[in-house]
């Protein structure tokens, strides 16, 4: 009989990571079958369905279920509780041989808790990443999922060291590379044909891309204001395209910053883009300003300078050998580092070990070998 793998996902970055896993499973369809359970955490078209469409992920009942547990309807603790309950019911009925979760969002925690209760083996893709900042909800999520996992698939050597330090048995840990980079390398040429900069009337390498969504940045008025002061100065020197997360948009309106932003003549606000559009835009940018973990990795793979608007990162390899730099949220430092890049003083970096487009194949090979 084929082994059944259930993949749990729900947030925008998850879909980018699971696409190559699904492809790798399909290559072994004589031995494996899968089902994607979308928790519904991200529900807007541009945050969810467009990714399924662009990345070729089927959303037909045989391969796909959507739980509809939307992040705008429930606080995060309720989200996780509902996901756990719904997933337990599905696991009880369909009894998968393995549950796979990716990343550090609430959907990963819900999946991990349900698998643990139902005694279903659990694999965590992107295991071992640590910011060592427990004020971040994502850090707590990582710790929970890693503790419950039976297979821990790491993207970089520091993650392996973190897991060993946490007491995880070496037999459970596998350095496999980065599935997000699998997707990037596969779709890079296709994305370039979209020519997103041209559609937005931008000149290649003459604009910056901004994303901002983490609660520690957008939920604190003083912090968000400090970042906006920096953006106000930077946009006087270079065009900035701000891809505004729905949550961030609400906070801008709540804090009364919308009028100020409209007066920034060289800042263009834009809704979130689909995956291919985003890849096209970032790959031709001068640099990226972000608090996103995924973009730190993608810019490293693209050798695009990245300034991370945080005081730490759970992806240290992007700083150690990649093109990423941690600049915090202080206005003067953000401005200083941005101006360096504008003047041509930029870190190019190198591509990390095993970020070669084959991470998903390694993960599925391990699953077949160990089961």
Question: What is the set of active-site residues?
Answer: 213
Q: Are 137 and 76 in contact (CB under 8 A)?
A: yes
Q: Which residues pair with 154 in a beta bridge?
A: 175
Written as six digits, the tokens of 285 are 């940018």
Is 6 exposed, middle or buried, given 0-12, 13-18 or 19+ CB atoms closer than 10 A?
Answer: buried
- CA dist 195 and 320 (Å) reads 31
Place of tokens 């993650």: 159
Beta strands in 42-193 (DSSP E): 64-66, 98-102, 122-125, 151-154, 173-175
Angle at 110 (CA atoms; ends 109, 111), nearest 5 degrees: 90
Give the C-alpha distances (Å, rounded to integers) separating 14 from 161, 269, 283, 299, 363: 24, 24, 20, 17, 16
Task: Provide the greatest CA pair distance for the chain.
Answer: 63
| Beta strand 287-290 pairing with 64-66 | unpaired
Q: Are 123 and 100 in contact (CB under 8 A)?
A: yes
């Amino acid at each position: 009989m084929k082994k059944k793998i259930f993949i749990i996902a729900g947030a925008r970055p998850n879909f980018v990571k699971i696409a190559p896993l699904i492809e790798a499973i399909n290559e072994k369809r004589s031995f494996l079958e899968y089902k994607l359970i979308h928790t519904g955490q991200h529900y807007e078209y541009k945050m969810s369905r467009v990714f399924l469409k662009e990345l070729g992920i089927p959303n037909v009942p045989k391969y796909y279920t959507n739980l509809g547990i939307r992040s705008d309807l429930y606080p995060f603790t309720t989200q996780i509780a509902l996901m756990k309950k719904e997933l337990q019911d599905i696991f009880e009925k369909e009894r998968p041989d393995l549950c796979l979760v990716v990343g550090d969002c609430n959907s990963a925690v819900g999946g991990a808790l349900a698998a643990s209760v139902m005694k279903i083996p659990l694999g965590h893709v992107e295991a071992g990443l640590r910011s060592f900042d427990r004020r971040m909800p994502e850090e707590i999520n990582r710790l929970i999922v890693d503790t419950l996992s039976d297979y821990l698939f790491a993207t970089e050597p520091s993650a392996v060291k973190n897991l060993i330090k946490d007491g995880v048995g070496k037999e459970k840990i596998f350095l496999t590379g980065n599935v997000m980079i699998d997707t990037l390398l596969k779709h890079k040429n296709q994305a370039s044909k979209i020519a997103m900069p041209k559609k937005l009337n931008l000149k290649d390498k003459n604009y910056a891309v901004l994303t901002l969504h983490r609660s520690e940045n957008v939920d604190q008025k003083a912090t968000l204001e400090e970042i906006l002061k920096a953006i106000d100065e930077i946009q006087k020197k270079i065009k900035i395209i701000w891809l505004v997360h729905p949550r961030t948009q609400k906070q801008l309106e709540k804090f009364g910053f919308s009028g100020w932003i409209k007066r920034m003549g060289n800042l263009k606000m834009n809704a979130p883009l689909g995956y291919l559009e985003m890849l096209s835009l970032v790959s031709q940018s001068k640099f990226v300003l972000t608090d996103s973990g995924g973009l730190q990795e993608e810019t490293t793979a693209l050798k695009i300078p990245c300034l991370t608007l945080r005081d730490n990162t759970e992806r240290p390899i992007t700083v150690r050998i990649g093109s990423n730099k941690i600049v915090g949220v202080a206005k003067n430092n953000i401005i200083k580092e941005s101006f360096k890049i504008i003047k041509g003083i930029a870190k190019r970096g190198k591509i990390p070990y095993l970020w070669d487009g084959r991470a998903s194949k390694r993960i599925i090979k391990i699953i077949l070998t160990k089961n």
